Amino acid sequence: IAGITQAPTSQILAAGRRMTLRCTQDMRHNAMYWYRQDLGLGLRLIHYSNTAGTTGKGEVPDGYSVSRANTDDFPLTLASAVPSQTSVYFCASSDSVGSNEQFFGPGTRLTVL
């Protein structure tokens, strides 16, 4: 692994289904983030983690949950998907909170029907 990876690349999901988006980084970064990107809007922070074992809510956390059991992994779960969660999801990491650079994964394109 080099950098930060996400899986799946894309997914079509029926409304009401549960879905987990995976994110793994090998840079030993302490901080990790989940964003969604929608046309005409800026990236919006869903959840973040400043260090393993801690998580926090961002701007748009409703309908999403995260966990940070170790440094490398930061999965995002949609408990019961709704069409408004159709978006491109980016995972990112940084050395620490407030670092001057966040590194982004390639993104997951999610469509909820």
Footprint on this chain of other proteins (rule: CB under 8 A): 40-45, 48, 58, 90, 97-98, 100-107
- Least distance (Å) from other proteins to the CB of residue 97? 5
Contact present, 79 and 21 (Cβ < 8 Å):
no
In this complex, which beta carbon is closest to other proteins, that of residue 12 or of residue 38? 38
Say whether the peptide bond before residue 83 is cis (omega within 30 degrees of 0). no
- Which residue's CB is nearer to other proteins, number 64 or number 90? 90
User: Can you give 49-98 as a three-state secondary structure string?
Assistant: ECCCCCCEECCCCCCEEECCCCCCECCEEECCCCHHHCEEEEEEEECCCC
Q: How far is the CB of 90 from other proteins (least distance, A)?
A: 6
Report the residue number, 38 or 79, with the smaller CB distance to other proteins. 38
CB of 6 to other proteins, least distance (A): 9
